Amino acid sequence: MPPEGKSDMERIGIFKELGYISIGDKYTPFIYRPFNDSAYKNKQMLPGGVKSKSALQTGYFDTEFKRIFEREALTDPVRIARQYKIQQAKKNIGKAFLPSNGEKKTCGMGSYYGTIGGPIQAMSTLQIPRKPNKSAGKNFYTNPPKKGSYGYPDITLSKMVSYSSDPYDRAKEMLKREIMSHKSMLKGGAFRLNLHPNECFDSNPYKFDKPLPPPKKTDGKKHFMVPFKPSSPSKKNGGMKAGTFDSYPSYSAEPYGTKKTKSSMTNKEGKIFHPSPGPKSTPVRSIISLNANK
Q: What is the pLDDT of residues 150-163, one digit of tens each?
A: 667 777 777 777 88
pLDDT at 171: 92
Q: What percent of the chain has pLDDT over 90?
A: 9
More confident residue, 277 or 180: 180
pLDDT at 220: 66
Whether the per-residue pLDDT at 2 is higher than 60: the answer is no
> C-alpha distances in angstroms, 156 versus 139, 141, 142?
22, 17, 14
Q: Is the dihedral of CA 277, 278, 279, 280 positive or negative?
A: negative
Count Cβ neighbours within 10 Å for each residue of 231-253 and write b for 16 or more, e otherwise. Answer: eeeeeeeeeeeeeeeeeeeeeee
* Residue 121 dihedral angles phi and psi, to the nearest 5°: -70, -30
CB 13 within 8 A of CB 282: yes
CB 235 within 8 A of CB 229: no
Q: What percent of the chain has pLDDT over 70?
A: 80
CB 274 within 8 A of CB 265: no
Choose the most confident range, by mean pLDDT, from 122-126, 198-202, 271-275. 271-275
Which amino acid is it at 219? D
Q: How far apart are CA 199 and CA 128, in angstroms?
A: 102
Calculate ∠ Cα 237-240-246, nearest 5°: 90
pLDDT at 173: 93
Q: What is the pLDDT of residues 179-235, one digit of tens each?
A: 999 989 888 777 777 666 776 666 777 777 888 888 887 776 666 677 777 777 677
Q: How far apart are CA 190 and CA 205, in angstroms?
A: 33
pLDDT at 281: 77
**Burial (0-12, 13-18, 19+ Cβ within 10 Å), 8:** middle
CB 58 within 8 A of CB 49: no
Q: How far apart are CA 95 and CA 90, in angstroms?
A: 11
Q: What is the pLDDT of residues 49-75, one digit of tens each?
A: 777 777 888 778 888 888 777 777 788
Which residues is 272 bridged to in the sheet?
266
CB 108 within 8 A of CB 99: no
pLDDT at 1: 46
